[in-house]
Amino acid sequence: MSRTQPRERPVRLTAVVAAATLTVGATAAALRPADPAEAATRTAPACVQPYVNPTHEGFDVDLANECANAMRVRVVVDNAGDSPCYALTPGASVIYAHESITGAYERTVTC
């Protein structure tokens, strides 16, 4: 009786498939568009000046756009809801009033 040896699987083909999968995955990750949620949480540029004033009911934030371009910004409040998104033309300002016993000014972000 003769016994046949089991065939060995080619390791080379597995390595090629793994490399191709890695390349395709990396390319897809690099080409995907930026996450809108991530983009919406970028800190506003320094030319958008937030002036925070404490009040008896919470705080006010005077947002002044000193940028050369129009900006869309919102106030992020720690432990409470954030402000709406404000569209500010160059030189414009708006006051966001937060009236609550909870929440504190955290930062101003683009939106």
* pLDDT, position 51: 96
Digit-by-digit pLDDT tens for the chain (111 residues) are 555 555 555 555 444 444 444 444 443 444 344 444 554 569 999 999 999 999 999 999 999 999 999 999 999 999 999 999 999 999 999 999 999 989 999 999 999
Is the separation of the CB atoms in 24 and 18 below 8 Å? Answer: no
CATH code: domain 39-110 is 2.60.40.20
Closest CA to 65 of 110, 35, 13: 110
> Which of 20-46 are b and which e, b meaning 16 or more Cβ less than 10 Å from the residue's Cβ?
eeeeeeeeeeeeeeeeeeeeeeeebee
